[in-house]
Chain A
């Protein structure tokens, strides 16, 4: 049974660890991309080259450093094995660039131009000449696929942007109407929570009813829990009392007194208060001396600095 508990605990720990790793590079997603960039987004050198946007949907900073971007995942199964080499089309993101740390819900754009010497965000393959029609993001150990974005081959000949309608929701990638490299794909102006509430519940009555229902539900749950525990506790106390009854009866008979059990909290409180007062009033020696005589001198080291100064040494002649 003890071993079973240990195994259960380990399994739970694994599950929890699994969830913890969810707030890491595993969360990163390709968000949108463009191959035929004629007069659209420019890199830092003013060139219009293909690009892809990566999104961090987590609510913490995630560092891309060491991860790979590629258009060819064939080396995925070999990585990690002895003597395995990094495949040619795998671009390893620099570990020394501070800009690879992505703040929560942020975006970063990589240029797919095959010019890695142009900077951290320029990959080592040119997507315009790729033999495949996908982009893959791979973990820093090269063993796991973080995300893959399949695009239509026709994207190479169309000046269009391909991706997801909503950031981080990787369903139904398609040609988008808007070009938003480095920012959210959700360009439609959405009403905030506050605006929606103002529109739907202008007098606050709905919120009041719902909120009071939730407050009552919460406290009713606690009430029910306390009821159950109270009943269980009373039952346990009765059992205990029944178990100790013969011994208590013997003791009271031997002392010739009635069995006097404390019934209420008030009695207990009264006895506790009496004991508290009794123990607090006990002390070995008085802290102050009460006298009618005036003290001989009022002094303090704060008021009379000479009292804290070193005395001049006495010289015996």
Chain B
């Protein structure tokens, strides 16, 4: 009888998390706890880091295979929730919400700011080239490069198509750097600008009519989707959400898209992306490389945005010049990078409010990264 109970207890232990735990699981759980701490204590993108951090913990609780628990096991609850990531339908839903909560007025009133959003996409392709040199395949390199777009949903969408095996690392890397925008960008902005340039005051934006705001999403989707149809899921949902917001007659739909819907999808995407970082799949040298390349692409994107503004200023008349501190906002981390421009601007002139101006390139960055994603898909997928 003693032998029987001993055997039962041993079997129970072998099924438990303690019996299956490895150093990899412990490291990943610590990373999850670190993310949650960053989100709660430092308030770095808590809406993203808390679900991702908790997802990392969920995904790294050790268990015996075959119990239909893990995110990669067919038929498990987490696997069903992960379906939206694998098939790439969560990111367009998030874009719908982003569209419904974004005000494109700053861009409409000062259209030249949109070009900054284009310039900042260079980070994506610089990281693509470096990834190729480091031995990644073109599809993997494309998925890694998109981290430089500073757009979590786009990064997930592209990596789910081009490199599903790297999706966990890419998504966590993209969201981490988005959360670290206030840490990464200011030194680059200070390095590339002179004190005189940081004091440039921009012309206040003009008032934008309702008609312009309604026509903007309609014309933009026609222009961008005809040029890059592969970006249709992201661009279509972005501009559809914006039309719901601006047309004025679909307030309830706009409120749902920008409120409950985006919140639900954010919870699901954050949790499942976090859970997909199982130690066995995640703790590999390639993940560390992806993190380094992600940082590189983020730095390049910020730098090209700032440098582009400086270059652009050469052709602009006095009084029309752009403050290069808004160049960083060309990456599409909305609204964090615009907030960084504002905070940095305030450091040098307490009466120079750059937030409204920085929102222009910031939302242009969203469009730019979706277009860049479309190009990568059409070339590689």
Contact = CB atoms under 8 A, between A and B. Distances in A.
A215 B118 contact: yes
Interface stretch (A44-52, A177-185, A217-225): A217-225
A194 interface: yes
Contacts of B253: none
A224 to B, nearest CB: 8
Given A197-B380, A233-B209, A223 B111 contact: yes
Contacts of B10: none
A198 interface: yes
A257 interface: no
Interface centre among A202, A215, A236 (most CB of B within 10 A): A215
Contact of A211 (B111, B115, B125): B125
B376 interface: yes
Interface residues of A, number: 38
A211 B368 CA distance: 11
Interface size class of B (residues with CB under 8 A): 35 or more
Given A194-B380, A197-B380, A211-B372, A265 B227 contact: no
B379 A229 contact: no
B126 A208 contact: yes
A265 B109 contact: yes
A219 B118 contact: yes
Query: What's the dominant secondary structure at chain B's contact region?
Result: helix
Contact of A219 (B128, B129, B364): B364
Given A197-B138, A222-B224, A266-B204, A230 B381 contact: no
A219 B114 contact: yes
B125 to A, nearest CB: 4
Interface string A102-139: 00000000000000000000000000000000000000
A264 to B, nearest CB: 4
A222 B376 contact: no
Q: Which 9 A-B pairs have the closest CB atoms?
A: A208-B125, A226-B111, A204-B129, A264-B204, A219-B118, A265-B205, A211-B375, A266-B204, A223-B111
28 contacts: A193-B381, A197-B379, A197-B380, A198-B137, A203-B133, A204-B125, A204-B129, A204-B131, A204-B141, A208-B126, A208-B128, A211-B125, A211-B372, A212-B118, A212-B122, A214-B227, A214-B375, A216-B118, A218-B223, A218-B228, A219-B367, A219-B371, A222-B223, A225-B223, A230-B108, A233-B208, A265-B205, A265-B356
